[in-house]
Amino acid sequence: MFEQLGLIGCGLMGSSFALALKRAGLVKRVVGYSKSPSTTERARQMGVIDVEAPSALMAVSGADIVLLAIPVSATEATLKAIRHLVGPHTLIMDVGSTKRDVVDAARRVLRENVGAFVPCHPITGKEVSGVENADESLYAGKQLIITPIERTFTVQLKKAIDVWTALGCHVMQMSPQAHDAAYAAVSHLPHLIAFAMINGIKSQEHGKDYMALAGPGFRDFTRIAASDPQMWRDILLANRDELLAQSKIFQQSLQSLEELISSGSGDALQSLIGQVSETRASWRISSPKTNK
């Protein structure tokens, strides 16, 4: 049970965390801060936070658990703003989709207290953002990746695991490097591709007409193209090396397929699609249920 959550960032991820923590009876009071005062006010009106803080530092004052739920590029500046109130007994976590850049920022800013910072990435989200879409069930049944570093305090790591587990997450640990390599392949690249494909269609004269004819396959394939622009700008830039490496592998694979199509190599094409189809058909999304 925590006394006070200091919530920095009252968007979808942060607000949903606050609601989930409250519902689980794990926190007495939530003090929240958002860059936009109207968002902070709205979060209080909705009961997501109990008290509006006028600054990130004030949100951390008195908190024994702090969540940074902000674009990853804002991590360093935010940690600088709050570091004077971060002691070894505070649990600080983030929910960023990239981890090497976040961990590097934490090392630079928090120094001897970096062990209080537990880098987290919940594998969940929505294509709508903002406190208005806060959902106390956003984290239930989802994967939660923790990427501790060698200096992470074991006591804070344990607390972080416990709190996410209490919210219904399946917690996994890996290095920030392994995290960023994996999510470049299975999350950042799909987003980049979806952005590029919609951009390619809408640049065409008849692009709008084409989209009007699209069906359920297109709907699901492009769902992630409606994601938050600032958040995804940050992710694509923060993980650019791994992402561009994955994009290269993808483009080579695409060119192999194009060659089979150009040359009319039906058998080889069917065999390749068959292997892909089998791989995808036998894949299951990971969840606490299926992993236990």
**Interaction residues for its own copies, span 80-119 (CB under 8 A):** none
- By the rule CB under 8 A, 61 interacts with its own copies: no
Q: Measuring CA to CA, how many Å separate 276 from each of 119, 224, 263?
A: 34, 21, 20
Q: Is 140 in the site for its own copies (CB under 8 A)?
A: no
- φ, ψ dihedrals at 55, nearest 5°: -155, 165
Question: Per CB under 8 A, does 132 bind its own copies?
Answer: no
Of 108 and 223, the one with the shorter C-beta distance to its own copies is 223
Residue 215 binds to its own copies (criterion: CB under 8 A): yes
**C-beta closer to its own copies: residue 45 or 291:** 291
Residue 257 within binding range of its own copies, rule CB under 8 A: yes
Helix (H) / strand (E) element for 6: namely strand 2-8
Asked if residue 223 binds its own copies (CB under 8 A), the reply is yes
E strand or H helix that includes residue 176: helix 176-183
| # binding residues, its own copies (CB under 8 A) | 92
Q: How far is the CB of 78 from its own copies (least distance, A)?
A: 17
211 Cβ neighbours under 8 A, 6+ residues apart = 201, 202, 218
> What Å distances lie between residue 92 and 49, 65, 204, 283, CA to CA?
17, 6, 47, 34
Shortest spacing between CB 214 and its own copies, in angstroms: 4
Under rule CB under 8 A, residue 274 binds its own copies: yes
Does residue 195 bind its own copies (CB under 8 A)? Answer: yes
Backbone angles phi, psi at 203, to 5 degrees: -80, -10
